[in-house]
């Protein structure tokens, strides 16, 4: 039975990835696939791969040969930086893992494991479109911020709204302890029942404090 990983992503905490999971799970069932893991994260697709716990977990599963396919609803779910998306694609392709993109009903590898040149080409184009879409959004936001500033509207966080690093680590003290014991991000997340993105954030906070 083909083992697959479902990867879903939304950019904001208040957004939901339920629809992505539901549709990709239904697709897996219709094809007779075994869903080994649903990897979900709430993080901007513009972040680098090294800062995304979900992507790191996905790549690690592929390297451990735990799955032979990765299912995503659309290319932009993997990211909105063309170079970062293609980096993930190349890693998966080298490991012989095909990426299925639902909204185009295409896979990056053929049934015999060879590269699908059309899918690879479309993947590059779609990743570039995602990047351009994000840049256009940023331009609109910046324009709106400039207009608000011109009108004298105060922007930014309210004083005291940022959580101090020490308080953040205290909130996840069990995660801190496991990381100090040498547990991996995936292991700590599973034991503490939190997302890998949370563990990654805690690890970065620990590093920031220790380097000061």
Catalytic positions are 11
For residue 117, give the 3-state DSSP assignment. helix
- Distance CA(133)–CA(6), nearest Å, equals 24
What is the DSSP track for 57-97?
A: HHHHHHHTT--SEEEESSGGGT-S-HHHHHHHHHHHHHTT-
- Distance CA(8)–CA(40), nearest Å, equals 5
Copy the structure tokens of residue 116: 């699908």
Cβ atoms of 4 and 61 closer than 8 Å: no
- Distance CA(170)–CA(75), nearest Å, equals 37
| Exposed e or buried b per residue across 22-61, where buried means at least 16 C-beta atoms within 10 angstroms of its C-beta | ebbeebbeeeebebbbbbbbbbebbbebeebbbbbbbbeb
């Amino acid at each position: 039975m083909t083992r697959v990983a479902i990867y879903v992503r939304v950019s904001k905490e208040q957004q939901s990835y339920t629809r992505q999971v539901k549709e990709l799970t239904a697709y897996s069932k219709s094809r007779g696939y075994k869903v080994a893991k649903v990897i979900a994260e709430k993080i901007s697709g513009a972040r680098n791969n090294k800062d995304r716990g979900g992507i790191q977990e996905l790549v690690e599963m592929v390297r451990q040969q735990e799955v032979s396919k990765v299912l995503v609803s659309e290319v932009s779910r993997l990211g909105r930086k063309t170079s970062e998306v293609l980096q993930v694609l190349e890693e998966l392709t080298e490991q012989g893992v095909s990426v299925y993109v639902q909204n185009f009903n295409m896979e990056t590898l053929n049934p015999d494991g060879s590269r699908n040149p059309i899918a690879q080409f479309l993947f590059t184009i779609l990743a570039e479109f995602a990047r351009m879409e994000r840049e256009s959004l940023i331009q609109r936001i910046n324009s709106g911020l400039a207009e608000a500033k011109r009108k004298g509207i105060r922007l930014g966080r309210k004083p005291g709204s940022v959580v101090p690093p020490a308080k953040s680590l205290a909130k996840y003290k069990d995660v801190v302890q496991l990381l100090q014991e040498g547990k991996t991000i995936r292991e700590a997340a599973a034991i503490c029942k939190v997302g890998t993105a949370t563990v990654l954030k805690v690890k970065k906070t620990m590093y920031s404090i220790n380097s000061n």
